[in-house]
Homo-oligomer: A and B are copies of this chain.
Amino acid sequence: MSDRPGGESVAVTRTGTGADPGTDLQIIESLARGELRVAARLISRIESGDPAILPLLAALHARGGKTPLIGITGPPGAGKSTLVDQLIFRYRQQGKRVAVLAVDPSSPFSGGAILGDRIRMNRHSADEDVFIRSMAARGRLGGLAIAAGDALLVLDAMGWDVILIETVGVGQSEIDILRHAHTVVIVQTPAGGDAVQALKAGVLEVGDIFVVNKADAAGADRTVSQLREALSFRSDAQEPESWHAPVLKTQAVEGLGIDELVLSIAAQAEFWRSHPQQRATRRRLQTRLLLIDQIAETLHQRQQAGDRQQRFEQLLDEVLARRCDLHTAASRLLDHAMK
């Protein structure tokens, strides 16, 4: 059992610290002091899937959960990077220290997020109170949301005032990653209504704030009203005590509409503070979906580590012998797990 990834983390939670508590505690203290190089090295280890980091992550998780996490997503070309850049400047004006995790679920070869990053890195490189880090998909797509969550634990331990999570695209991978965010901002551009048409139902459901960027382009008002109409069909649209996602217009390049976006993000955070039950319901749903992802990810890690467990292999035998189909095998395993 000891050679299984994840095994160590069980021990950690029991003892409260890792196998080498001195080292893990030293790392945690370095993070609390804001040592960027320590954070960058940890995130690289998370990206590469180093299982030895699990005890530390468990310790960070136990201490974490304090920093507001704001997720920002939208299709390539929507102006997300510029919008994030503007948000950084506003938060810096408020004296807030800002970290950005830019996650690119597309191919590691696309370089999209990384390019945008470098530009912003240069712009903020003199500012020690801004930290921008990108993550790319290295292994399984499903694992990226988990890895992003682990990287957020590292950032959370550093005492930033706000953490922005930027993802490229509006697909399932982005929705998965946004499960970590307390406030989800979806960025769109005017596109004659096509953008709204193409928005996956899942994206409409998870957004807390919708932004139509490049609002000086033709069709902006139409996109806004179409988004509002689409949102009126959301499952929570009729509930009086739920947050009703606003649709804002911005021109990120000119810095227009950013103040309204900052206010809207603050209002959303205030809504969670004043509606603890709704907040708990949302966190529970997000965490339930993350735990499902994590179960699949842990199964994949065990499979790759050559870890074979009897009950799973027996069910596999049944499927291969066609005495049991995949649906039934999974149900049986889960029924047993839940007992």
Q: Contacting chain B: which of A123-131, A184-192, A285-293?
A: A285-293
B300 touches A319 (CB 8 A): no
Q: A333: CB under 8 A from chain B?
A: yes
Q: Contacting chain B: which of A85-93, A113-121, A139-147, A224-232?
A: A139-147
| Residues in B whose Cβ lies below 8 Å from that of A299 | 292, 295-296, 334
* Number of A residues, CB within 8 Å of B: 74
Q: Known: A198-B109, A319-B287, A322-B64. Is A334-B337 also a contact (CB below 8 A)?
A: yes
Task: Report how far A299 CA is from B15 CA in the complex, Å.
Answer: 30
Chain B residue at minimum C-beta to C-beta distance from A59: B325
| Residues in B whose Cβ lies below 8 Å from that of A335 | 10
A109 touches B325 (CB 8 A): no
| Residues in B whose Cβ lies below 8 Å from that of A302 | 334
| Residues in B whose Cβ lies below 8 Å from that of A31 | none
Min CB distance, A19 to chain B, in Å?
14
Give the number of copies in the complex. 2
Residue A296 contacts which of B6, B54, B296, B339 (CB distance < 8 angstroms)?
A: B296
Task: Report how far A243 CA is from B253 CA in the complex, Å.
Answer: 55
A334 touches B298 (CB 8 A): yes
Q: A242: CB under 8 A from chain B?
A: no
Q: A52: CB under 8 A from chain B?
A: no
B295 touches A333 (CB 8 A): yes
Q: A219: CB under 8 A from chain B?
A: no
Min CB distance, A155 to chain B, in Å?
15
Min CB distance, A216 to chain B, in Å?
26
Min CB distance, A313 to chain B, in Å?
8
Task: Report how far A294 CA is from B295 CA in the complex, Å.
Answer: 12
Q: A37: CB under 8 A from chain B?
A: no
A331 touches B9 (CB 8 A): yes
Q: A263: CB under 8 A from chain B?
A: no
Chain B residue at minimum C-beta to C-beta distance from A283: B320
Task: Report how far A316 CA is from B12 CA in the complex, Å.
Answer: 18
Task: Report how far A291 CA is from B296 CA in the complex, Å.
Answer: 10
Task: Report how far A141 CA is from B303 CA in the complex, Å.
Answer: 21
Q: A217: CB under 8 A from chain B?
A: no
Task: Report how far A288 CA is from B310 CA in the complex, Å.
Answer: 13
Q: Which of A's residues lie within 8 Å of B, judged by CB?
A: 4, 6-7, 9-10, 12-13, 54, 57-58, 61-65, 107, 109, 140-142, 146, 149, 153, 171-173, 197-198, 200, 280, 283-284, 287-300, 302-303, 309-312, 315-316, 319-320, 322-339
Q: List 9 A-B contacts (CB under 8 A).
A: A10-B331, A54-B328, A58-B327, A142-B172, A142-B296, A295-B333, A312-B337, A334-B337, A336-B337
Q: Besides A57-B327, A298-B331, A309-B338, 11 other CB < 8 A contacts?
A: A6-B330, A10-B332, A13-B323, A13-B328, A61-B324, A62-B325, A291-B330, A292-B300, A298-B327, A311-B338, A336-B337
